[in-house]
Amino acid sequence: MSELAPVVITGVGTALPGVTGTADLVTGPDLPAEPVDPAAVLGKRGLKYKDRATQLGLCVAFDGLKDAGLRDDEGPQAEGARIGVVVASNYGNVDTVCRVTTTIANETSRGTSPMDSPNASSNIIASEIAIRYKLGGPNLTVCNGDASGLDALRWAATMLNAGRADQFLVIGVEPDNEMVRKLVGADRIVDGAVAVVLEREETAQERGARIRARIDGFARTGTVEAGVRRLRTLGDDTPGGWYL
């Protein structure tokens, strides 16, 4: 555990059934609801041959960057070379990976689709987001079970403190498809994504960005109680929130 310079959240994007804005994340979605249609958010261009998780990631990336004032409907409003991407996803493109693997096993690699093979990369979601929105900062995917989302935030905050970028787009995304359902043994799982834009507080203040929240201490422990005890060593106040 270590203390980082102040890092803040300046943008939020959502692509979840029944969620139309950040307020719904607190009050709860309006269910039942239809799955998010990426084409309705972004248009159909550029979505063909993209797996579900990548499409959802592209949706929340667009909304998150807009909410942070880093782009608008006409295009970028900031230098993309200084914006990084960290994606947290445990199942991500597993349907594509399984399809490609099965094809190779049954037909050798000659049977694979030239459209499928690139999408089997473990970093495909983050890289497609960076390519589409011309984001040239560090780019990686975190796949670490239940802790993936928090680890993605930690990596982004650490790299911001190291000066690797001015902003980081952090995205959590999981798709609902037949292959994921088989792996988790469920009839239906959450299908969607959420994005937040992180930056150093001084950077946000310099550009007049709206600050939605602050990220302070980080601790990895076996229980909530142990995590709270460790976080309290960073200051006198009780943490505003803790998560498993």
Q: What is the pLDDT of residues 20-71, one digit of tens each?
A: 888 887 788 888 889 999 999 999 998 988 999 999 999 999 999 999 999 9
Q: How many domains does the chain have?
A: 1
Taking the CA atoms of 91, 98, 129 and 157 in sequence, report the sign of the dihedral they define.
positive
The pLDDT-based confidence of 76 (bands split at 50, 70, 90) is: confident
What the block records as the tokens of 15 is 């692509």
- Domain annotation covers residue 165: yes
How confident is the model over 145-166, as pLDDT tens digits? 888 898 999 999 999 999 999 9
Is residue 122 included in any domain, yes or no?
Answer: yes
Retrieve residue 36's tokens: 């998010």
What digits encode the pLDDT tens for the residues 182-238?
988 888 888 999 999 999 999 999 999 999 998 876 777 777 677 677 767 665 555
CATH number of the domain bearing residue 207: 3.40.47.10
Domain containing residue 93: 7-232
**Joined tokens for residue 26:** 């607190």
C-alpha span between 217 and 225 (Å, rounded): 15
Report yes or no on 237 lying in a domain: no
Question: Considering the domain boundaries, does residue 241 fall inside one?
Answer: no
This prediction has a pTM of 0.86
User: What's the rounded mean pLDDT across residues 7-13?
Assistant: 96
Q: Which helix (H) or strand (E) holds 52?
A: helix 52-67
- 239 within a domain of the structure (yes/no): no
- Evaluate whether residue 24 is within a structural domain: yes
240, part of any domain: no
110 within some domain: yes
Q: What is the dihedral of CA 228, 232, 237, 238, to 10 degrees?
A: 10
Amino acid at 199: E
Beta strand pairing call for 213-215 and 192-200: unpaired
84: closest CA among 240, 202, 221, 200? 200
171-180 pLDDT, tens digit per residue, is 999 999 998 9
Nearest to 5 by CA among 203, 240, 226: 203
